[in-house]
Chain A
Amino acid sequence: MRYAKAFLLVIISLAIFYLLNFRHGMIPPLGKFLNPFAGFWLNNTATDIIPRIITSRNLKDSVVVVWDDRRVPHIFAQNEYDLYFTQGFVTARDRLWQMEFQVDAIAGRLAEIVGEDALEYDRFFRRCGLIYAAENALKEMLAAPEIRLALEAYTDGVNAYIRNTNARNMPLEYKILDYRPKPWTLLRVALLSKFMAWNLTAFEISELSLTRAREALGESETEKLYPSVPPYTEPIIPRGTRWLFQAIRIPAKPISPFVPKSDTFLLSSEDVGRPGSNNWAVAATKTAAGHPILCNDMHLPLYLPHIWYEIQLATPSMNVYGVSFPGAPSVIIGFNEHIAWGATNTMSDVIDWYEIEFKDDTRTAYLHDSVWLPTRKRIEEIKVRGKGTVTDTVVYTHHGPVVYHHDEIPFDARIPRGSAMRWIGHDPSNELLAFLKMDDAQSYDEYVDALSHFDCPAQNFVFASVEGDIAIWHTGKLPVRWSGQGRYINDGRNSEYEWMNYIPREQLPHVLNPREGFVCSANQYPVDDHYPYYLGGNYWTFDRGARISEVLSNMNNIRIEDMVTLQNDVLDVSARKVLPSLLANLDKERLMLQERRSYEELEAWNYESGANLIAPTIFAYWWDELLHMIWADEIEKTYGDLTPPRTDLTIELILDEPDSEHFDVKGTPGREHLKDLVIKSFHSASSRLYEDLGSYGDDWQWGRARPIDIGHLGQIPGLGRMGLSKAGSEHTVNYKDTSFGPSWRMVIALGKTTTGWGIYPGGQSGNPGSKYYDNFIDDWLIGEIYELLYLESPEVKHERLIGQTVLRSIP
């Protein structure tokens, strides 16, 4: 009896130990996690305390970090090594988990952390060759001595912090997911640059969907419904700009279009968010202060910890302020004493797909220009938590990796099976050099030189200098294409479909000090018809660009406040263009009472997507219904694989071709016209509004009806801010999508003493238990912006400075 009792109790004790010491599914190890002496309780506001002194053997000299009341570090170092070491150290101190998780995600190493659920996710990124891309980039980076120094210093700084971490001060997410940080490496910095390259170039893989559309609708109809140059676009480079260079030879388009194998097609994919952005610079002649002003807001996926980390980096020869990527040295977007710069995504198509014909099932050879070429196989080892290692063989052709074979189910339905991926991101490149040079640039020529190192993701870099220059360059490594090349799946056997050359840097679209007195971009098509090269891409609709242009053209004596107002502008140019003709098709007298109220709201609407307005909600519901009615039959024809033509194209059709065949709903007796669809969609939108939002009232307000989510990077519930009411839409300068928005609003007034304003939706600390985790979000939602403290030296006194950390070198 005594034996049995003792045995039983010991077994129960061991079972309790097992339950509390290990993670079970998504439940953290409760013993460790709840332990008040080391668990989550310690991820508290004590982490907000600024350390006075830190010592390190790595440092060559003392470094002073001054902290302001928004927890922005202002780093003053005597040399570059110490500067980037300290940047790595303080960034890791605030953002270690995020730094690591982002690169693990892109490297396909999440199964190591979360287990089998992430295996197919990891396999996808391994197949896409993200590590291969980072390895190629790293080789190129290490060839440049200044980059090697910055990379090594930053990595040393991060690792110095990682050595300081222990079970107690580990970031919260490590405790929840029960793992430990791995050492930071040079490759991980390269992986971070590929993280951005992937996110800004792979958001729209449309070849499969377009090829499908071409099969169902024919090429000319497809080109009409999915034009490569969207309608109404006012280009980034002013119309009429003369291109005086001798363009290099543009290859001829193959005579007959390539038709890929039919089993390439899958069911329709989920819609993914589209990164976008605005930037502009106004010339000294248009500003009240007589110096240029530069503005930028990049619309990226919003999550916590936020994608950017604000920082000032200073040495005796350089002083730069702006936002950095947690995980890489340098300031990415910002300003120094001489210049300011910002970026928007060019939306260039730099991923093409080539259907591969293998010689046999061993996939060791493939056909190319009538010759069998050998493939190269790369073995990827994917560690799966609790399950050992899964090996995966990726077949590489000279185009790039074959992401999924015909007998596999793609993780991302947009990927054409049996095709190799040609991505600019796989080529050796050195974007970091561009940023290091930009941080230190003093003139237009130095900005252009910095850009010459920037390949992918191609960006519209806007520029302004104290000297008074303003400029914009649509820049990156862009292939010379025959017109339309890369829109459909290509023939991998035929070199005519390949990129033979790249547009020479000096011939890329750009403009310096235009007559208009301003430059601006909003991800639209960059040039008019005079530009000699075809620029393939998935460009944004005209609206944001048009609004910025119209406001800037009509404005003079521009002040900072005017620029902040423009960044927060919520006038929907698309609605302004199309709504009057939609309303004209409705007969108010024949509407029901409830519908009449909606009609009156729209009639009185000033086209602003204000958070507390009801009209934008009514319009959005109506527009969605109308789009669905117009395009449902075309989509059905393609078995649901087609994405509906875009808003801009639909507006053009409504305004210019009200009798178009597309308004006829196939399969019904009689022929429908635009008017019929407008009336029908208005009725059905009205009933849907009541179904979704209840009776007419506050829940119909735009901010509530279409809230935004700022979730957690690792999708851990409770660590994000969800369901936030914000003004703006996909068609307004102040952009809003369900989880995308202005990730860093910046306004820089250049001059004798340059001043800057900025805000992002997050906070400097990555610790969810810190008061600096999400403290900017509420101000960001209502359009506030903070004055940036651009310090000349660490001795400067300012009421907003709250402390100093001295990093001392020890022998």
Chain B
Amino acid sequence: MIIDFVVCTTTMLLLKIMTPWWWWIMVVPFVLGLVRIKSGWFSFLIGTSSASLLWLASSTYYYFAGSQIVTGRVATLVGLSSPLLLILITAGVAAVAGGIACSAGCAVRSIFVPLRQ
């Protein structure tokens, strides 16, 4: 399981560094679910934890590496009391997107390969 988590997170990290597309946090977990993961619940867990961890860690990094001003302004724009909530929302969006995509990949796989109970 840990290996799935590591593969998922590093693949997304590399693709995200190379390209600007946000949807790697859906595509990578989906593909991983499709080709590797054998359990429905685990697939959600792996998708959600790797995507949210990646976005949590990277947004926290940027927040402290020069993005405080812009985070503060965007927080005001969306009506949040604290810019730190934006980090949590960012991680939350990734958690939902990554988790559901990985589950979907795994569910498609289950049509062809029965899941481990």
**For residues 125 through 167 of chain A, which have their beta carbon under 8 Å from a beta carbon of chain B?**
166-167
- Whether A21 and B76, one on each chain, are in contact in the complex, defined by CB atoms closer than 8 angstroms, is no
A3: chain B residues at CB < 8 Å are 111
Complex Cα–Cα for A689 and B95 (A): 52
Q: Please count how many residues in chain B sit with their CB below 8 Å of the partner chain's CB atoms.
A: 41
**For residues 18 through 68 of chain A, which have their beta carbon under 8 Å from a beta carbon of chain B?**
20-21, 30-32, 34-46
CB proximity of B103 to chain A, nearest CB, Å: 5
B90: chain A residues at CB < 8 Å are 34, 36
- Whether A12 and B100, one on each chain, are in contact in the complex, defined by CB atoms closer than 8 angstroms, is yes
A46: chain B residues at CB < 8 Å are 65-66
Q: Interface-forming stretch among A318-326, A475-483, A767-775?
A: A767-775
The reply to whether the CB of A716 lies closer than 8 angstroms to some CB of chain B is yes
A719: chain B residues at CB < 8 Å are 73, 77
Complex Cα–Cα for A327 and B75 (A): 30
| Per-position binary interface string of chain B over residues 89-108, scored 1 when its CB falls under 8 Å from any chain A CB and 0 otherwise | 11001101100110110011
**For residues 753 through 785 of chain A, which have their beta carbon under 8 Å from a beta carbon of chain B?**
767-771, 773
Q: Please count how many residues in chain A sit with their CB below 8 Å of the partner chain's CB atoms.
A: 44
The reply to whether the CB of A2 lies closer than 8 angstroms to some CB of chain B is yes
B20: chain A residues at CB < 8 Å are 35, 37-38, 166-168
- Whether A20 and B22, one on each chain, are in contact in the complex, defined by CB atoms closer than 8 angstroms, is yes
- Whether B62 and A2, one on each chain, are in contact in the complex, defined by CB atoms closer than 8 angstroms, is no
**For residues 9 through 35 of chain B, which have their beta carbon under 8 Å from a beta carbon of chain A?**
16-17, 20-23, 26, 30
- Whether B59 and A36, one on each chain, are in contact in the complex, defined by CB atoms closer than 8 angstroms, is yes
Complex Cα–Cα for A20 and B35 (A): 25
- Whether B69 and A35, one on each chain, are in contact in the complex, defined by CB atoms closer than 8 angstroms, is no
- Whether A13 and B77, one on each chain, are in contact in the complex, defined by CB atoms closer than 8 angstroms, is no
Given contacts A13-B26, A36-B62, A770-B69, contact A6 B111 (CB under 8 A): yes
- Whether A16 and B58, one on each chain, are in contact in the complex, defined by CB atoms closer than 8 angstroms, is no
Residue of A nearest to B94 (CB): A34
- Whether A718 and B77, one on each chain, are in contact in the complex, defined by CB atoms closer than 8 angstroms, is yes
Contact of A768 among B73, B94, B101, B103 (CB under 8 A): B73
Complex Cα–Cα for A31 and B23 (A): 7
Complex Cα–Cα for A716 and B30 (A): 36
Contact of B69 among A10, A42, A716, A769 (CB under 8 A): A769
B76: chain A residues at CB < 8 Å are 717-718
Complex Cα–Cα for A718 and B76 (A): 5
- Whether B104 and A10, one on each chain, are in contact in the complex, defined by CB atoms closer than 8 angstroms, is yes
- Whether A30 and B93, one on each chain, are in contact in the complex, defined by CB atoms closer than 8 angstroms, is yes
B77: chain A residues at CB < 8 Å are 176, 716-719
Q: What's the count of A-B pairs with C-beta under 8 Å?
A: 127
Residue of B nearest to A170 (CB): B20
Contact of A13 among B22, B30, B78, B86 (CB under 8 A): B30
Given contacts A34-B55, A41-B71, A719-B77, contact A5 B22 (CB under 8 A): no
Complex Cα–Cα for A44 and B73 (A): 11
A30: chain B residues at CB < 8 Å are 93
The reply to whether the CB of B82 lies closer than 8 angstroms to some CB of chain A is no
The reply to whether the CB of A17 lies closer than 8 angstroms to some CB of chain B is yes
The reply to whether the CB of A259 lies closer than 8 angstroms to some CB of chain B is no
Given contacts A6-B111, A10-B104, A37-B58, contact A44 B66 (CB under 8 A): yes
Given contacts A2-B111, A17-B23, contact A172 B70 (CB under 8 A): yes
A44: chain B residues at CB < 8 Å are 62, 65-67, 69-70
- Whether A41 and B22, one on each chain, are in contact in the complex, defined by CB atoms closer than 8 angstroms, is no
- Whether B74 and A40, one on each chain, are in contact in the complex, defined by CB atoms closer than 8 angstroms, is yes
The reply to whether the CB of A9 lies closer than 8 angstroms to some CB of chain B is yes
- Whether A41 and B30, one on each chain, are in contact in the complex, defined by CB atoms closer than 8 angstroms, is no
A768: chain B residues at CB < 8 Å are 69-70, 73
The dominant DSSP class at the A interface is helix
B61: chain A residues at CB < 8 Å are 36
A34: chain B residues at CB < 8 Å are 22, 55, 59, 86, 89-90, 93-94
CB proximity of A13 to chain B, nearest CB, Å: 4
Complex Cα–Cα for A172 and B74 (A): 10
Contact of B59 among A6, A20, A41, A167 (CB under 8 A): A41
- Whether A45 and B66, one on each chain, are in contact in the complex, defined by CB atoms closer than 8 angstroms, is yes
Complex Cα–Cα for A685 and B93 (A): 53
A769: chain B residues at CB < 8 Å are 67, 69-70, 73
Contact of B17 among A6, A37, A773 (CB under 8 A): A37
Contact of A41 among B17, B70, B108 (CB under 8 A): B70
B111: chain A residues at CB < 8 Å are 2-3, 6
- Whether A718 and B97, one on each chain, are in contact in the complex, defined by CB atoms closer than 8 angstroms, is no
Complex Cα–Cα for A171 and B14 (A): 24
A2: chain B residues at CB < 8 Å are 107, 110-111
- Whether A773 and B69, one on each chain, are in contact in the complex, defined by CB atoms closer than 8 angstroms, is yes
A767: chain B residues at CB < 8 Å are 70
A12: chain B residues at CB < 8 Å are 100, 104
- Whether B75 and A718, one on each chain, are in contact in the complex, defined by CB atoms closer than 8 angstroms, is yes
A167: chain B residues at CB < 8 Å are 20-21
CB proximity of A2 to chain B, nearest CB, Å: 5
- Whether B59 and A16, one on each chain, are in contact in the complex, defined by CB atoms closer than 8 angstroms, is no
- Whether A13 and B70, one on each chain, are in contact in the complex, defined by CB atoms closer than 8 angstroms, is no
Residue of B nearest to A32 (CB): B22
- Whether A13 and B100, one on each chain, are in contact in the complex, defined by CB atoms closer than 8 angstroms, is yes
Complex Cα–Cα for A768 and B77 (A): 12
**For residues 37 through 68 of chain B, which have their beta carbon under 8 Å from a beta carbon of chain A?**
55, 58-59, 61-63, 65-67
CB proximity of A766 to chain B, nearest CB, Å: 13
CB proximity of B29 to chain A, nearest CB, Å: 10
Given contacts A718-B76, A768-B70, contact A31 B22 (CB under 8 A): yes
Contact of A42 among B62, B78, B100 (CB under 8 A): B62
CB proximity of A1 to chain B, nearest CB, Å: 10
CB proximity of B115 to chain A, nearest CB, Å: 8
- Whether B70 and A40, one on each chain, are in contact in the complex, defined by CB atoms closer than 8 angstroms, is yes
Contact of B104 among A6, A38, A39, A172 (CB under 8 A): A6
A20: chain B residues at CB < 8 Å are 22-23, 93, 97
Contact of B107 among A5, A40, A176 (CB under 8 A): A5
Complex Cα–Cα for A17 and B97 (A): 8
B107: chain A residues at CB < 8 Å are 2, 5-6, 8-10
Complex Cα–Cα for A40 and B63 (A): 11
- Whether B67 and A771, one on each chain, are in contact in the complex, defined by CB atoms closer than 8 angstroms, is no
- Whether B59 and A718, one on each chain, are in contact in the complex, defined by CB atoms closer than 8 angstroms, is no
Contact of B93 among A6, A31, A37, A718 (CB under 8 A): A31
Complex Cα–Cα for A32 and B23 (A): 8
Complex Cα–Cα for A482 and B16 (A): 70
Complex Cα–Cα for A46 and B22 (A): 21
CB proximity of A233 to chain B, nearest CB, Å: 44
B71: chain A residues at CB < 8 Å are 40-41
Complex Cα–Cα for A356 and B21 (A): 56
Complex Cα–Cα for A3 and B112 (A): 10
CB proximity of A65 to chain B, nearest CB, Å: 22
CB proximity of A116 to chain B, nearest CB, Å: 22
Complex Cα–Cα for A30 and B16 (A): 16
Given contacts A20-B97, A40-B74, contact A9 B103 (CB under 8 A): yes
Complex Cα–Cα for A458 and B86 (A): 48
- Whether B22 and A38, one on each chain, are in contact in the complex, defined by CB atoms closer than 8 angstroms, is yes
Complex Cα–Cα for A550 and B61 (A): 58
Residue of A nearest to B108 (CB): A6
Complex Cα–Cα for A3 and B70 (A): 45
Complex Cα–Cα for A39 and B55 (A): 11
Of all A-B residue pairs in the complex, the 3 with the closest CB atoms, nearest first, are A769-B70, A718-B76, A718-B77
Known contacts A32-B22, A40-B71, A43-B70; 12 additional CB pairs below 8 A are: A16-B101, A34-B89, A35-B55, A40-B74, A41-B59, A41-B63, A41-B67, A44-B67, A44-B70, A46-B66, A718-B74, A769-B67
| A-B contact list, 7 entries, CB within 8 Å | A2-B110, A8-B107, A13-B30, A17-B26, A34-B22, A172-B70, A718-B76
**Chain B contacts to A: CB under 8 angstroms:** 16-17, 20-23, 26, 30, 55, 58-59, 61-63, 65-67, 69-71, 73-78, 86, 89-90, 93-94, 96-97, 100-101, 103-104, 107-108, 110-111
**Chain A contacts to B: CB under 8 angstroms:** 2-3, 5-6, 8-10, 12-13, 16-17, 20-21, 30-32, 34-46, 166-168, 172, 176, 716-719, 767-771, 773
